[in-house]
Chains A and B, each alone.
Chain A
């Protein structure tokens, strides 16, 4: 193995902001977001594609950013939890998670929010089964999930009403 690994230039938009950097090929998307861009809202949980704490949207679809390389996000659009808030106002999902106690320790919350965001983008009025399936890739060890469902339901109702 040659010691000099060429870095790869990437250009992408994260939460609407443009970035152009050179990255090591093995840099994971989550580490790119947290270390290079200092967007530490996206968490590393299990680091093995299980827990979903690192969920972000890549070109509009949710992915586990511990299981994607930064080089693969070249030319794409990334949405992280930091991008949910608009003009100083929390996203209805964020507000509903706060109002309905959809979190305790908060570790899973950024990923949970992005999975819920993805779910509501596809089904604005999700059934119980759709909600369960929609966040099946996100593990929460505090809430027992019931308040998360309450929060998603409330946010969905509010978003449909707008």
Chain B
């Protein structure tokens, strides 16, 4: 299979990529890792007339720790996040990076591309929604920084304007006493998940949750921030009862579509179970325990 013919443009800088997008208009698409775009083009679900390749822009791929922040270049590959010691200090980031698809896709796919594509099953969006995350965007009018929470509009739709692109993703490091976990259930490595849950907690003492971020993936048109599930934990001791209440609130917050991966009811139940497990894992990590977490193949 091969895509419809298109013209290929290689941007040498972000500035040039933005002007190419502005000049070529709606029929142009950005090529980052290409792990979604190229399959979509081969299946003729997307037939852009122009591709603007970002891969030859220098210095767009990095994980840079700085004053309580982690800065990710938009073109940072999942595998680079997986291998980054700075990113490993925030275990939920490592869970995500090390679990996306398979080695080959992680070697190629990018963090910026995952967010900009806004696939409802994308892994990065729910994970980063549990941490204070900002997206630095560049367009013809210059640069603007947006909270990730305001970034997603609908399935495959973000607030990015026509000639705008992501330059950098900035994550604030969680304070000491924090821990998180990201769980995804999928049939096999290369496929999209049936449902995912990201939980990031802060414990005031070893038992009481002072802050909670919970987000769900693949169970709605956009990643879902489960505010009521978070509220069920905040200020509470992490007892089986509180954890169950949070899981039930997360199940209620999701809006799954029935498909080949499962019925809506199954996915809703799955979300509850994943949130429950992720809370327990996040709490252990918040208490300083080293826990290995990986995606679940079922």
Contact = CB atoms under 8 A, between A and B. Distances in A.
Interface in A35-68: 47-52, 55, 61-64, 66-68
Interface in A82-141: 115, 118-119, 133-134, 136-138
Contacts of B51: 25
Contacts of A154: none
B49 A72 contact: no
Contact of B104 (A5, A26, A28, A55): A55
B269 to A, nearest CB: 26
Contacts of B4: 26
Interface string B182-210: 00000011110000000000000000000
A84 to B, nearest CB: 17
A144 to B, nearest CB: 15
A71 B53 CA distance: 10
Interface in B1-44: 1-8, 10, 31, 34-35, 38-39, 41-43
A67 B35 contact: yes
B103 A133 contact: yes
B142 to A, nearest CB: 29
A66 B79 CA distance: 19
Query: On chain B, which size bracket covers the interface?
Result: 20 to 34
Given A50-B191, A69-B34, A72-B34, A24 B5 contact: yes
B190 A50 contact: yes
Given A1-B49, A25-B51, A49 B2 contact: no
A69 B188 CA distance: 25
A62 B8 contact: no
A72 B2 contact: no
Interface in A1-46: 1, 5-6, 8, 24-28, 31
B190 A137 contact: yes
A34 B108 CA distance: 21
Nearest to A115: B103
A52 B53 contact: no
A55 B3 CA distance: 20
A112 B38 CA distance: 22
B252 interface: no
B158 interface: no
Contacts of A6: 7
A86 B102 CA distance: 28
Interface in B37-74: 38-39, 41-43, 49, 51, 53, 55
17 contacts: A24-B5, A25-B6, A25-B8, A26-B2, A26-B4, A27-B2, A28-B38, A28-B42, A47-B1, A55-B104, A61-B107, A68-B38, A68-B108, A115-B103, A136-B188, A137-B102, A137-B189
Given A26-B4, A26-B41, A64-B104, 20 more contacts: A1-B49, A5-B5, A5-B7, A25-B7, A28-B42, A48-B39, A49-B35, A50-B190, A62-B107, A63-B104, A67-B39, A68-B34, A68-B38, A68-B108, A71-B53, A72-B53, A133-B294, A136-B189, A136-B190, A137-B103
- In the A-B complex, the 4 residue pairs with the smallest Cβ-Cβ separation, listed nearest first, are A137-B102, A136-B189, A25-B8, A61-B107
